Amino acid sequence: MIKVHRLNGELFLLNSDMIETIDATPDTVVRLLNGHRYLVREEMQEVYDKVIEFRRSAGYACIVSSSVGESREPDEL
């Protein structure tokens, strides 16, 4: 779970395993696999970084670079 803020400043936890897409339109829109969408204050890169940080701390087996869209599984190296 990652901590993000609604546009009104309310803090909530988001299940990062459910994220399907993150768009900047210009507000950041996080769309989940179940179809729910959330507008958040954080920039797209910040949400991405929070997901990567959470996954690393939880022991997920992936290797990522520092920018959006450049993650690779270890067997792709």
What is the number of structural domains in the chain? 1
pLDDT at 35 over 80: yes
pLDDT band with cut points at 50, 70 and 90 for residue 53:
very high
Domain that includes residue 17, residue range:
2-76
pTM of the model: 0.74
Q: What is the mean pLDDT of residues 8-31?
A: 96
Phi, psi angles (nearest 5°) of residue 22: -130, 125
Q: What is the mean pLDDT of residues 36-42?
A: 97
Tokens of 74: 């270890």
pLDDT at 69 over 70: no
* Structural contact between residues 28 and 38, judged by C-beta atoms closer than 8 angstroms: no
How many alpha carbons fall within 13 Å on the CB side of residue 13? 4
pLDDT of 31 = 98
DSSP 12-55: EEE-GGGEEEEEESSSEEEEETTS-EEEESS-HHHHHHHHHHHH
